[in-house]
Amino acid sequence: MPVTEDRRRIAVRLTALQVGCVVVFAALGISFWFLQIIQNARFEEMAENNHQRTLALRAPRGVLYDRDGRVIVENRHSFTISIVREHTKDLDRTIRLLSAVARLDQKDVKAVVDRHRSEPTYRPIVIIEDASLAQVAAITARRLDFELPDVVVEEVPTRQYPSDGIAAHLFGYVGEVNDAMVEADDTLKSGDLVGQAGIEKIYNALLMGQDGAKRVVVNSLGREIRTLEEEPPTEGKRLQLTIDYDLQKAVEDGFRAAQTAHLTNAGAAVVLDPNTGEVLAFSSEPAYDPNAFAAGIDRATWASLTTDEQKPLNDRAIQGRYSPGSTFKMAVALAGLEEGVITPDFQVHCTGGANFYGRTFKCWKKGGHGTIDLRHAIEQSCDVYFYTVGNMVGVDRINKWAAVLGLGVKTGIDLPNEVTGLVPSTEWKREKMHEKWYAGETISVAIGQGQVSVTPVSMAVYMATLANGGTRVTPHLLKAVDEGAGWKPAPAPPPQSKVDLDPDKLQAIRDGLWMVVNGHGTGGRARIANADVAGKTGSSQVISNEGRVAAGRSTKDLRDNGWFVFFAPRDHPQIAGVVFLEHGIHGANAAGIAHHILDTFFAKQAGRPLPPAPTPADLRFDFVDPYARPAVASVETD
């Protein structure tokens, strides 16, 4: 009996062993089939990658030219240092050694690697953009000693902008895409450099180009032996801008002189062709150096820009909103004329102030201007005249004609993040504040104070519209594109609106503007011989007189803002624009900068030598103690 039981147990065990063997061999067979048949392509690629590597070749961005064909933004060669995780055996060791050799903070290097861990391991992670020659030499030496076989050094094109931050806000800057950009645009991949501001952002699709690739054979240490094939990158399209570099420099030189005189550190200027809307010059101050972004901005530089009280990253030309002061008076004049409320000969007697709705509103001129008509009211910037006209016209009709001229609406300029100014109306106040509009509020609006706020770029369009007779042009920066077969003009954007203004009524405003510069007005600093410059100064308060007294000797800059808007020649305008000086005290100071811009424009047109950069003495800036002003009830001074 025991023998029979032993045999039975042995038989069961043999059967179990046989079944086990069958299962094991079946599993092995299935695994081999899965690996060799189903996963064949994957493992074949991995095998190839043991001795082959595909390297991305970054495409140069398109070159930018000014309207005369002068190169203003181009590319230069630089080096990047990257880690290829596919070829590393100890990533932590590589991070430590690379940080030490390149003199980097190990935490920063690890943070970069961690940010890209989800990407394919064969894709290089760029650790250093625009590496110094010392860093390149140190890394290359370690690679030759086989200490950093998984670190690669590549020569790549890097953006190069003009020095001194000239036209920084116009050009913008480039930077690495973030995750949100990659998700929103399937043509982008992690590591791509794209436009982040200005022209670089708006026309990124044209400027970006197409990356190439190079497949190389490498040895066991990751060193390249030979190139198997190469697809060269395609450079981005060349763009010609409407900008005139000489005029742009004239604007920048004017602001430099203002800053040297300690008059202002902030402001904006926009210069247009009033007939086409082409932007001839565009500046916002203070600026920044776009070159700092071209190869990856460091933390310290970024922190200094974002914490600076002057906000250098803010584009004041399209994002700053300010009271226009007396430069708004032409909009009130046009509303009165076109609505038939006044004629050019309409007169007002100014004694230095006037009473409206139980309150006295003073003129900037203490003794008054006497009896004055429209042309002379513009020339002398008589507040009482425009209080009277504004009161007769009403806020809604002022709003209507201000919009016709380009105020309180977006200009449509081809730059990102433009904001809208404000010209109030009864409907606006009802919707915004759930209150009715009181007629007394119109008095301050009539001289560009109160709730009125404008952007400098909208003021440039405003003057262009007055200059060309009623066409609200769309300011634009792209003139032509070269896609590889020569320059092709870029279609100009259509005007925003067009109104047939009464020529005689418009001429009265133009005459007044001409008298501001060439008569006895406050814009004489902008006068150019035989150029018939027309313009208007404006000085707008940043704080009420009562608030100024309460502030005492505050360290905050409370000086008035200074404006000068212009076009020339008066009857056949070829140039129009605005100069805005934040805390620039008087519009006459802004007119000094405009003089240099206009002098440069007409000198270039006539083939004369360009004028030298102005000095503070040339511009004759006024140094006025802003705290010494009398606490009067006036809301405007010119």
Instruction: Say if CB 408 and CB 421 are below 8 A apart.
Output: yes
332 and 200, same domain (yes or no): no
Choosing from 78, 323, 326, 444, the catalytic residue is 326
Residues sharing a CB contact under 8 Å with residue 55, sequence separation 6 or more, in sequence order = 124, 152, 154, 213, 214, 215, 216
Q: What is the mean pLDDT of residues 461-468?
A: 98
**3-class state of residue 6 by DSSP:** helix
CA pair distance 125, 116, nearest whole angstrom: 7
40 phi, psi to nearest 5 deg: -55, -50
Instruction: Say if CB 405 and CB 384 are below 8 A apart.
Output: no
Position 310 in a domain: no
61 and 168, same domain (yes or no): yes
pLDDT band at 605 (very low <50, low <70, confident <90, very high): very high
pLDDT band at 630 (very low <50, low <70, confident <90, very high): very low
Q: Report the pLDDT value the prediction gives residue 285, as an integer from 0 to 100.
A: 93
Q: Please indicate whether residue 6 or residue 365 has the higher confidence score (pLDDT).
A: 365
- For residue 11, pLDDT over 90 is answered with no
Q: Please indicate whether residue 170 or residue 134 has the higher confidence score (pLDDT).
A: 170
Q: Report the pLDDT value the prediction gives residue 610, as an integer from 0 to 100.
A: 95
363 and 228, same domain (yes or no): no
Q: What is the mean pLDDT of residues 275-292?
A: 95
Instruction: Say if CB 82 and CB 124 are below 8 A apart.
Output: yes
Helical residues (DSSP H) of 446-502, grouped into ranges: 456-468
Position 479 in a domain: no
Q: Are strands 497-498 and 487-489 parallel, antiparallel or unpaired?
A: unpaired
Residues sharing a CB contact under 8 Å with residue 10, sequence separation 6 or more, in sequence order = none
452 and 597, same domain (yes or no): yes
Mark whether 304 is an active-site residue. no
Q: What is the mean pLDDT of residues 468-492?
A: 95
Position 191 in a domain: yes
Instruction: Say if CB 264 and CB 563 are below 8 A apart.
Output: no
Determine the structural domain holding residue 381 and report its residue range. 318-469+499-573+580-619
* Sign of the C-alpha dihedral computed for residues 366, 367, 373 and 376 taken in this order: negative
Position 37 in a domain: no
195 and 330, same domain (yes or no): no
pLDDT in tens, 152-183: 888 888 899 998 789 999 999 998 887 788 77
CA pair distance 553, 626, nearest whole angstrom: 9
Angle at 569 between CA 566 and CA 572, to 5 degrees: 120
**3-class state of residue 483 by DSSP:** coil
pLDDT band at 547 (very low <50, low <70, confident <90, very high): very low
Q: Which is nearest to 459 in space by CA: 304, 594, 365? A: 594
- The 10 Å Cβ neighbour count of residue 39 is 12
328 and 195, same domain (yes or no): no
Q: What is the mean pLDDT of residues 183-195?
A: 80
* Mean pLDDT across the chain: 86
521 and 614, same domain (yes or no): yes
Residues sharing a CB contact under 8 Å with residue 389, sequence separation 6 or more, in sequence order = 332, 333, 336, 341, 342, 346, 348, 446
190 and 78, same domain (yes or no): yes
CA pair distance 15, 20, nearest whole angstrom: 8
Position 274 in a domain: no
In whole angstroms, what separates CA 101 from the centre of its chain? 37
Instruction: Say if CB 577 and CB 603 are below 8 A apart.
Output: no
* Sign of the C-alpha dihedral computed for residues 167, 171, 175 and 177 taken in this order: positive
pLDDT in tens, 210-231: 888 777 776 655 566 677 777 8
Give the chain's domain count.
Answer: 2
CATH number of the structural domain spanning residue 397: 3.40.710.10
Tokens describing residue 611: 């004028």
Position 258 in a domain: no
588 and 447, same domain (yes or no): yes
Instruction: Say if CB 136 and CB 81 are below 8 A apart.
Output: yes
Q: What is the mean pLDDT of residues 27-48?
A: 63
SS3 per-residue string spanning 35-82 = HHHHCHHHHHHHHHHCCEEEEEECCCCCCEECCCCCEEEEEEEEEEEE
Tokens 């047939």 map to which residue?
A: 500
CA pair distance 582, 490, nearest whole angstrom: 35
Residues in the chain: 638
**3-class state of residue 222 by DSSP:** coil
Tokens describing residue 425: 């109306």
Position 626 in a domain: no
461 and 599, same domain (yes or no): yes
- The 10 Å Cβ neighbour count of residue 544 is 13
Q: Report the pLDDT value the prediction gives residue 151, as an integer from 0 to 100.
A: 83
Position 72 in a domain: yes
237 and 385, same domain (yes or no): no
Instruction: Say if CB 116 and CB 109 are below 8 A apart.
Output: no
pLDDT in tens, 298-324: 788 888 888 988 899 999 999 999 999
Q: Report the pLDDT value the prediction gives residue 224, as an integer from 0 to 100.
A: 64
Q: What is the mean pLDDT of residues 248-259?
A: 92
414 and 505, same domain (yes or no): yes
Compute, in degrees rounded to 10, the torsion defined by CA atoms 312, 313, 315, 321: -70
pLDDT band at 452 (very low <50, low <70, confident <90, very high): very high
